[in-house]
Structure formats: C-alpha cells, structure tokens
Chain A
C-alpha cells in the first residue's frame, strides 16, 4: 500500500516536470525513488553533470578572459564582481524597504525597533572604528613599502629598463651636441642634420615605449601590494555604510517618524486652539482660527505621507513585468479575435494582409516614438488625469507609479507582440483539419457552436504557440523601449548604469543582463506550461 503511494507521488512529480519542461530532472527523481539506479546514474551523468561541468568551464573562461580587456569603465567584470553587484542591489532594496517601514511604524512597535537599532549602532560603531584603524595602519605601511628605493622587483627587469633608457637618452644627447657643433663649422651639411634629427625622433619613440612598459610593470607591483589595503578599505566602507543606514533608521524611528511628527503637530494644534480661546479682538480671533485650520490641514497631509523610497532594481523589475503583461494582454485581446476572423474569412484576411506585411517588420524604436507622441497627446496633464488616478487608487498596482511612460511602453510592446499571435492564430484557424469540419457539418452545428466547440479548441495549440512567441518578443522590445525612452523599468536601470559609469556600473549592467534573461526564461516557461495544457496530441513542446 505504501509502495503504491510513493509511486503515485513519483508519477505526479514526473508529470509536473514533464509539463513544465524540466525533463532533465527526471532521472534524479527516479533515482530518489530507486528505479533502475544504473540507468538513472548514466542519464544524470550525461544530461546533468556534463552540462554543469560545461557551465563551470564557461565561468572559468569568463573569469580568465574578462580582466584582459580594459574598457573605459574599467576591466570587464568577473563573475564575482557581478555576484557582488547583485548583493549590493539586494542590500539597497532591503534598506529602502526597511526605511519605508520604519517611517510609518507606530507607538509600541516603533519603540521596540528603536531599541534594537540603537543597540546595533553601538556595536557597529566600535567595529567601524577598528576597521578604520586597520585602514590607517595599512596606508602607512603601503606608503613605506612603495618608496621607489624599497621597490622590490620580482623579475629584475626593472633595473634593465632603467639602464637601457639611460643609455639611449645619453647617447642621443651626446650625438646631438656633437652634430650641432659640426653643422656650425660646416663639417656636416644641413640636409644631413635633418636626417639625423629624424633618427633622433625614432630613438625618442623607443625610449617612450620602454618607459611605458616600465610604468605598467610598476603599476602591476603596486596593485599587488595595494590589494590588502583595498580590502581593508572596503571592509571599512561597508561598515560605514551600515552605520549610516542605522543612523538613518534611528532618525526615521524618532524625529522623522510619521506618527511622531503627527503627534508634534497635534500638540501644536492643541496650543493654537488654546490660543484661540484666549483671543479677544476680532482680528486675533480671525487670524488664530485661520491658523488652526491650516494646522489641521497639514496634519491630514502628514497622515497620508509615505516614505519617498529610491528606485531599486526590484522595483524596476516589478514595473517591467507589469508593463510587459499589460502590453501582452493588449496584444492578445487584439490578436486572437482578429486572427480568428482572418482564419475564417478570406476577405478579412485579404483586408488585413497588407497591414500585417507592412507593419510587422517595423522596428520597435519607430513604434516607441510614435506612441510616445500619441500617448503624450492623450494625457496633457497626467497628474490629475482620471485614468492615472484610477490606477494609483488600486492597492498593489498603485505603488508601481503608473504614468504615460508606462502606457506608451506597453503600447509598443503590444504592437510588436501582436503580429506573431495574429499570424499564428490565423494559421491555426485556417489549417483546421477538414475531418473536424466534416463532423461539424454532419451534426449541423450552428456558427457559435462551430466556433467554440470545433474551431477554437482545434486552433488553441497554434494560438498559444503564437502567444509564447509574442511574450518573448514583447519582453525584448520592452527592455529596449525602456532604455531608449528612460521610462522606469529594467531597461532604464541598464541605461542609467551605462550613463553613470561608476566602477560598479559595468558589473550592474551584466547583472541586469542576467536578470532580464532569467525573467524572460520564466515567462517563457509559464507559456510552455499553458501550451502543454491546451495541446491535445500529448506531444512535447520544443523548449
């Protein structure tokens, strides 16, 4: 009995893997349930271990090759730097969320948190001081070590370089002096002198080249020596950042805290009301009453206030996914009915074909610009437009800051994603099996039944194949559109990093590249699952 149960579990897991397209894990599950262990081990070796080894091989190659290419933004980042930038982004997001929570914390919980934060500040502060001392120590040591006299050169070439350069320049100077004298007293012609000067320039070039090599050798030595110092500095910087963050938290939990400020404002209001009671002259009453009203208004405003958190990469991700889903939905809503009409009716197909053929190849950039203009005209004053006010009032979506930029990005996604879905739906409907139509004819199904019981179900696999392509296209287009139009989202994150050009930005761009890829992969997987659910021939979907 228990064996049967475990079999059931096994098969439901296998079925799940099959539907989601993770069939590589199939042998692992079978191995766990001890089914033909030898065979599974072989399969794991071939289809899991080898790819993983290959992955490691690629990572190592990346690690090796990346630092050799020097760019304006520094070396091409290695995997560890990219990983580090992922961590930094994560910490940044964590800090922003914590601060915004602190800002609205109230009464008891506020005091509780404050106590913890203050305790942390004390411990971090001492750690930071230690780290600072360490840095000072290292700096001192570094300065001493790097006195030119103390420079230890591992491959002894350095002295060679210096002597070589010395010899070259000395010879050059001597010869020049000799020749100058000879030209003066006519021993050498002026023509020969020119020739000689040209030779001299060549010597100078040679010297420069040698000196350049020398410099790079020195900087290499320097950077080797520099590493411990760099590390000490980064430890200190991290601690200092943490300390700053905690101090900010403390502030948000005390004087900048919303409830605290509301309390203060209320106290002031109380005073003003008392003042009003004491007022005697007509003018005083009027002015003090006005003041009470103003203070009441400002309290109301204060109560609704939220922490204006900085834009983190996670926020950008959320916004991008929301935008792409909006655009995709728009595309599906347009493409599916139109596609069905095209597939059913040759006249409709003939009417739409020119549009499809001409607009399908148009670059997303052109669409973006067109929609930017069109959408801009629709919302001359976006802050107060009812459309946006409506969206900001929806709980979760409201925090995504819906604005015209999102609308035109979504429109661009929609127009680029509409074609694959449209063409595939039309193909699915028009290539419906003649036998199925014959069944409908023999049964004399009405138009509605024919559409919903025969045509749509039979073309669903095509429709979903098209939608899957659409979503993929939409995601690619969106990132480009956001980068180009500086509309908030992952694309903008990449663009900002590119513009920013700090030491981390290159690593951040590569980090974003992975984020975009992984999200695209997840979206595709979701579509594969849907496609598998509607496919009726039990066949597999290509991954």
Chain B
C-alpha cells in the first residue's frame, strides 16, 4: 500500500465558460520514506499539485489518499512549505515558528519548545534574525524561515514547493544536506518541487515531470538509482548521473518545443556545468 496516492485526480479553476482544467488525470504513488522530485515549467501547475497533496484544495474528480484514507482537509502531518513563504507578518521569525510548534506539540514544556525552535533556526542559519519581522528579511531569509517552520512541525510527509530557489549556492548546498539528513535519519517522506535538475538528481529517488498546462499531467518518472547517501563531489563521475541528466534535460527541452510547436534542433549542446564547479569554487573562495 502506498503512503500517499493520487488516483485520476484533476483540478479546475473558475466556473462556467471561464473554467479551465489545470491538472488532469493525475496518478501518483509515493512510497513511505521516498524522496520524489517534481519538475515542470512555470505556470504548469506544480504549486496547484502541492496544494492538492496538502489537502488545501480538493480534486474535482478522482481522489487523493494518505495511508489508504481519503484526504479531506489539510493537517500538520502533511507539512507544506509554501512557495510564497506565507509567514505571518505581525510575528517575528521566532514567533512564526512558535505558533506552529505550539500547535503541533502542545505537550512541550517551555524549555523543550524553545530548544526545538532554536534547533531549527540554527539549522537554516537564522539565529541572528530570530527577532526580526518578515518585512525586515531578505527573500532568501524568508524562504529559510518558512522552511524552518515546516521542518519544525516534523511532519510525516514534507511538501516542499521550491524550497531553495532564492538561496545562494553555498547556503543551498548546506540546506540540501540538512533536508537529506532529516529525510534519512527521521525516515520522512518528501515531495519536492524544483526547477533545478541537478538538485533533483542529487536528492530524489524519482523525478516526475509535469507536462505543460493547461490540463497538465504527470509523465513517466525517471528513476534515480544512485545509492544514498550521495556525495555532491563524486556524483558527477557517476555514469548513471550523467545519463539521467541528459535524459531529463532533453525531455524538458522537447516538452517545451512541443508546446511551442517550434521546429528547432533539439540537440542543443549543454554547457559542461556540474556541481563539481560549485565545490571547486567553494574550496577556493571564502564566503
């Protein structure tokens, strides 16, 4: 039995003439302790898919099940990290996380609660900014605060909507490691949206492309059969990795071309840019 599943789910927005089907006929099976990455172009409906998985919107047809039970409403066991962060602007970073922690772990003592919050703030490197209000934070800081809030809820399944898109390379690599560690050590299940193929290949067990909307649907997954834990310094050498990267990239390019109905040469030479470069620069430069 799968942990989280979509069966022929479809989602439409609007009513009457202006009704458009954003997602159609989605089928997805996420196993327990699996790491699924979803890639797709902007506006194709990835965030909508996330809201669907979280239970924030209900499918117009088909169904969504978690552990065999139909999902009817959102809940803290499916921890959602919103693409636009959704921090409460009248609360400081600390208080934002406190609100979630207080609700999810009501039995925590004062000290337990504080330690818990500080632990996650430290994880995303936000301890110095814990007293700041969201409007005093940079985009990347907000993103990290939002991630810390989601992680601090310790949900069974993490639904991360482009969690690292606004971060610099170094912070990004650090937090990637943290997410992977949490996923492995705490045996969580993760569904993550990303636009970065390297990131998906480094972290995920499966990469599922979402076709271009409207009526976007999930395509056949790419299985990333590289053993965990993966090391970003050596993964470039992995033959599987290279092959997958070419496949996924080509798939995306083709999908885009198909959508645009343009007849261009699909074999655009890819720049030889790999996470390797990142690591070199990391050792040479001091940030």
What A residues does B73 contact at CB under 8 A?
Answer: 441, 444
Digit string of A448-477 for contact with B (CB within 8 Å is 1, else 0)?
A: 010001100110100000000000000000
A90 at the interface (CB under 8 A from B): no
With A435-B82, A536-B133 known as contacts, the answer to whether A442 contacts B88 (CB < 8 A) is no
A518 at the interface (CB under 8 A from B): no
CB under 8 Å from chain A, chain B span 80-113: 80, 82, 84, 86, 88-91, 99-100, 103-104
What A residues does B43 contact at CB under 8 A?
Answer: none
B88 touches A443 (CB 8 A): no
B75 at the interface (CB under 8 A from A): yes
B100 touches A443 (CB 8 A): yes
For the complex, give the distance between the alpha carbons of A443 and B75 in Å: 6
Residue of A nearest to B88 (CB): A436
Contact of B76 among A438, A443, A460, A538 (CB under 8 A): A443
A381 at the interface (CB under 8 A from B): no
With A439-B86, A457-B88 known as contacts, the answer to whether A538 contacts B133 (CB < 8 A) is yes
Contact of B88 among A444, A458, A460, A534 (CB under 8 A): A458
Contact of B89 among A442, A449, A537 (CB under 8 A): A537
What A residues does B74 contact at CB under 8 A?
Answer: 438, 441-442, 444
With A441-B73, A443-B76, A460-B90 known as contacts, the answer to whether A435 contacts B103 (CB < 8 A) is no
B86 touches A445 (CB 8 A): no
Interface of A is mostly: helix
Interface of B is mostly: loop
What A residues does B78 contact at CB under 8 A?
Answer: 442
With A441-B74, A536-B135 known as contacts, the answer to whether A454 contacts B88 (CB < 8 A) is yes
Shortest CB–CB separation between residue B67 and chain A, in angstroms?
A: 17
CB under 8 Å from chain B, chain A span 411-437: 435-436
For the complex, give the distance between the alpha carbons of A499 and B74 in Å: 70
B45 at the interface (CB under 8 A from A): no
For the complex, give the distance between the alpha carbons of A438 and B83 in Å: 12
A442 touches B54 (CB 8 A): yes
Residue of A nearest to B146 (CB): A439
Residue of A nearest to B134 (CB): A536
With A436-B88, A438-B56 known as contacts, the answer to whether A443 contacts B133 (CB < 8 A) is no
Shortest CB–CB separation between residue A262 and chain B, in angstroms?
A: 61
Q: How many A-B residue pairs have CB under 8 A?
A: 56
For the complex, give the distance between the alpha carbons of A538 and B104 in Å: 30
Residue of A nearest to B82 (CB): A435
For the complex, give the distance between the alpha carbons of A435 and B87 in Å: 9
What A residues does B136 contact at CB under 8 A?
Answer: 538
What B residues does A443 contact at CB under 8 A?
Answer: 76, 99-100, 103-104, 153
B79 at the interface (CB under 8 A from A): yes
B86 touches A435 (CB 8 A): yes
Digit string of B48-74 for contact with A (CB within 8 Å is 1, else 0)?
A: 000000101000000000000000011
Interface range for B: 20 to 34
Shortest CB–CB separation between residue A456 and chain B, in angstroms?
A: 10
For the complex, give the distance between the alpha carbons of A443 and B100 in Å: 6
For the complex, give the distance between the alpha carbons of A457 and B89 in Å: 9
Contact of A457 among B54, B90, B104 (CB under 8 A): B90
Contact of B90 among A438, A445, A458 (CB under 8 A): A458
What A residues does B103 contact at CB under 8 A?
Answer: 443-445, 449
What B residues does A442 contact at CB under 8 A?
Answer: 54, 56, 74-76, 78-80
A444 touches B82 (CB 8 A): no
A536 touches B76 (CB 8 A): no
A439 touches B76 (CB 8 A): no
For the complex, give the distance between the alpha carbons of A460 and B88 in Å: 13
Residue of A nearest to B84 (CB): A435
Contact of B75 among A444, A458, A536 (CB under 8 A): A444
Greatest chain A CB density within 10 A among B54, B74, B75, B82 is at B74
Residue of B nearest to A446 (CB): B103
What B residues does A435 contact at CB under 8 A?
Answer: 82, 84, 86
A438 touches B86 (CB 8 A): yes
A436 touches B135 (CB 8 A): no
For the complex, give the distance between the alpha carbons of A538 and B89 in Å: 10
Shortest CB–CB separation between residue B134 and chain A, in angstroms?
A: 8
With A441-B74, A442-B76, A444-B75 known as contacts, the answer to whether A536 contacts B89 (CB < 8 A) is yes
Contact of B86 among A436, A453, A538 (CB under 8 A): A436
For the complex, give the distance between the alpha carbons of A538 and B137 in Å: 12
Residue of B nearest to A537 (CB): B135
What B residues does A441 contact at CB under 8 A?
Answer: 56, 73-74
Residue of A nearest to B150 (CB): A442
Shortest CB–CB separation between residue B98 and chain A, in angstroms?
A: 10
Shortest CB–CB separation between residue A446 and chain B, in angstroms?
A: 9
Shortest CB–CB separation between residue A183 and chain B, in angstroms?
A: 99
A453 touches B135 (CB 8 A): no
A453 touches B99 (CB 8 A): yes
Digit string of B110-136 for contact with A (CB within 8 Å is 1, else 0)?
A: 000000000000000000000001011
What A residues does B84 contact at CB under 8 A?
Answer: 435
For the complex, give the distance between the alpha carbons of A538 and B76 in Å: 31
For the complex, give the distance between the alpha carbons of A518 and B82 in Å: 48
With A444-B103, A453-B99 known as contacts, the answer to whether A439 contacts B135 (CB < 8 A) is no
B135 touches A444 (CB 8 A): no
CB under 8 Å from chain A, chain B span 226-277: none
Digit string of A156-170 for contact with B (CB within 8 Å is 1, else 0)?
A: 000000000000000
For the complex, give the distance between the alpha carbons of A449 and B100 in Å: 12
Shortest CB–CB separation between residue A381 and chain B, in angstroms?
A: 50
For the complex, give the distance between the alpha carbons of A61 and B15 in Å: 64
Shortest CB–CB separation between residue A322 and chain B, in angstroms?
A: 33
Digit string of B137-163 for contact with A (CB within 8 Å is 1, else 0)?
A: 000000000000000010000000000
What B residues does A438 contact at CB under 8 A?
Answer: 56, 74, 80, 82, 86
What B residues does A454 contact at CB under 8 A?
Answer: 88
For the complex, give the distance between the alpha carbons of A536 and B136 in Å: 10
Shortest CB–CB separation between residue A449 and chain B, in angstroms?
A: 7
Shortest CB–CB separation between residue A483 and chain B, in angstroms?
A: 42
Digit string of A179-203 for contact with B (CB within 8 Å is 1, else 0)?
A: 0000000000000000000000000
What B residues does A458 contact at CB under 8 A?
Answer: 88-90
Residue of B nearest to A436 (CB): B88
What B residues does A536 contact at CB under 8 A?
Answer: 89-90, 133, 135
Given contacts A442-B75, A538-B136, 11 further A-B contacts (CB under 8 A): A438-B82, A439-B82, A442-B54, A443-B103, A443-B104, A444-B103, A454-B88, A457-B91, A458-B89, A460-B90, A534-B90
User: 8 A-B residue contacts at CB 8 Å?
Assistant: A435-B86, A438-B86, A439-B88, A441-B56, A442-B80, A443-B104, A536-B133, A537-B89
**9 smallest beta-carbon distances between A and B, as pairs:** A435-B86, A536-B90, A457-B90, A536-B89, A443-B103, A442-B74, A441-B74, A538-B135, A439-B86
